[in-house]
Structures are given as C-alpha cells and as structure tokens.
Amino acid sequence: MAFIDRVKYDSPDDTSFVWKYPSEDLKIGSQVIVNEGQEVIFVKGGQALDILGPGTHTLSTGNIPLLNKLINLPFGGKTPFSAELWYINKTVKRDLKWGTPAPIQIMDNTIGFPVSARSFGKWGTRIENSRSFVTQIVGSQLTADDNKITEYFIGEIIQKLSNTIATAINVNNISILQITTSLNELSTFTYEFIKKEFERFGLEVVNFNIESINIPSEEMEKIQNVFEKTLEARELSKVQVGGAFSAIKTFEVLNAAAENPADGAGVGGFLGAGIGLGAGLPLGSQMGQQMNINQIQANQETQDKDENPEPVARLKKLKEMLEEGLITDEQFSQKREEILKEL
C-alpha cells in the first residue's frame, strides 16, 4: 500500500465547489498544499473534522488535533492513517443562472385574469461553512459543482420567488403588465427570503437578481384583445367595465347587420328588430329605450303643432274670416288681442 507524500488540487475551471482527493491513505509527515481561495477539510466516519487554510501544511498531530483525538495517532514517525481530504472552493460564484422550469400561475386582480408568469435571472453564492456544506450537501459524492448546487437549491429559489411575485400582484396590486418597474425591489425581497435557508447549509448568498418577469405571448395577445374591446365598449356605449362583455356582443351583432342587410330591410329595419332582441342585452335595451323616447317626443311635438298652430298663422286665418264676413270687427279685435298675448 502506497501512502501519499504530497496532496494538491488545481481546479481546471471555476465551476467546482468541492473536490474529494481520490486516496484516503495518508501519513504523518505528508504535505498538503492549499491554494488561495481554498480550504481542506478532513472527514472521518462521516464527520467533518479539522480544516486547513491556504498554505503548505506538513501533517502532524499538532495541526490535526480533532482527527488525532478520533483515531489516537502516535507521536512522531511516519505513522500511516486513513482519512478523506476534501478541497473546498471558497471563491464567490456570481454568475449562476436560475429560471422558472414551469410558469407560475397567479391571479392578477388588476386586470381580472389568471396569468402564467415566467422569470429568470442570476444569483451568486460562496461556501461560508465548509463543515456544514460537506456534511449536508456533498455527503458521499466525489464532487459538487455549480450544476449540483443550482439543482439542489432551484426549488427553494422558485418557491420564494413565487411568493414574492404573488404578494406583489395580489397584495400590493402591482399588475403583471407593470411589474418590470419593480424588479429591483422584488430582487431584494427574494434575496432576504432565501438567504436564511442557504445559511443552514453553509452557503452565503452574495447576490440575487431578477432580470425578467413576463407572460407567454399568447396570453398577452388575449389581454390586449380584451382591453381593445373594453375601450370600444366604453366609447360607444358609455357602459362601465363590468357590463363591457354584453356591450361588446351587442356591437358585434349590430356591426354584422350593417355589413349584411337583409332583403327589403336596411340597417334601420334590423335595428328596429334588434331593439326587441336587446331586452337581454344592456346596450340594446338602452338604445331601444332611447329610440322609443325620441319617437314619442317627435309625435308629441307634431300633435302640439296640429292642435296649437303658430300665432302668425292663426292671425292670418282670423284676417281671412274677417274679410269674408264670417266675424265682426269687434270679434276680430277681441280674438286678435288673445292671440297676441300668447306671443
């Protein structure tokens, strides 16, 4: 059995968080080289024991006291012993990416629609507590890279993000259409939510950014169509938003009639029939009532004109009756005074 005299690890890239030295056959007097931004932790029987910082370390019972206590190493000589050596990358990883694997279903009360929110961004972390991280996250695996860390924690990130977005939309009444103006605040809130959970596993969250929150294009198109019809209904019928649907349907029927008039009947004829149909439609009912009122007023004005002709016409008629000898001068004068008083 060959014992290791020198241990060192140079990472080929910056994706690695933890790397386990492939041999456990060590001996007192071996050298362990730890680069800047690294730590080496001794693990025995699943316990994370002594930690060595940057520098060149010659193993002795003095610099591995916890391990020495566990396996009772003798003093002096090249005493062999077995232990796992884990290299921990302590540098900061700032460009880790996250994204919602599936849309987040949220009811947007400001527009009255359920929406499917999607989001993505970046986050950064570093190992703060090597013992906690190795024992809870790494376990018996040989390595742990940024993909494993993201895979392990993405669920926690998405859960806290979902809560943050839902609170912003439902409690703070920020519409999904306006939420991009609040990305900085939402990033801060989500960061505060997730950092405590990460600390439990020996990780420090150094940054968390939401770069985008959006909804699928087909949902956006539906929302735009509804807004267009609502605005049309407001302008044409002056109804409130709550009655917009009925108003929209009524206008669609009336527009169809205008484009395809029936034989022997124009749009006016269809509208006359449509007013009856409009009893179940608020806009049709309103139009029908208004047209009936206008017709009654017109008939009344005509009747008033027939029963009460204009004073000038009555004076002319009175003059003709005088000239034809149908009335006397006294009667003419008396009636003329009555008509003149009406002016």
Residues 130-149 have pLDDT tens digits of 998 888 888 767 778 888 88
Ramachandran area for residue 46 (φ above 0: left; ψ -120 to 50: alpha; else beta): left
Q: Assess contact for 249 and 283: CB atoms under 8 A.
A: no
Longest dimension (CA), the chain: 159
Residue with tokens 């000898």: 325
Q: What superfamily would CATH give domain 93-215?
A: Band 7 domain (3.30.479.30)
Helices (H) and strands (E) in the chain, counts: 10, 14
Q: Which are the contacts of 114, defined by CB distance < 8 A and separation ≥ 6?
A: 105, 106, 107, 108
Q: Give the per-residue pLDDT at 270.
A: 46
Q: Give the per-residue pLDDT at 247.
A: 57
Q: Assess contact for 90 and 148: CB atoms under 8 A.
A: no
Segment 294-316 mean pLDDT: 64
Q: Give the per-residue pLDDT at 308.
A: 53
Most confident range (mean pLDDT) of 41-50, 240-249, 275-284, 313-322 is 41-50
Label residues 71-85 b or e (16+ Cβ within 10 Å = b): eebeeeeebebebbb
Residues 81-129 have pLDDT tens digits of 888 899 999 999 988 999 998 888 888 888 787 889 999 999 999 999 9
Residues 220-277 have pLDDT tens digits of 888 888 878 777 777 666 545 445 556 556 656 656 665 665 554 544 444 444 444 4
Segment 143-158 mean pLDDT: 85
Asked which of 66-70, 201-205, 339-343 is least confident by mean pLDDT, the reply is: 339-343
Q: Give the per-residue pLDDT at 286.
A: 52
State the chain's mean pLDDT as an integer: 79
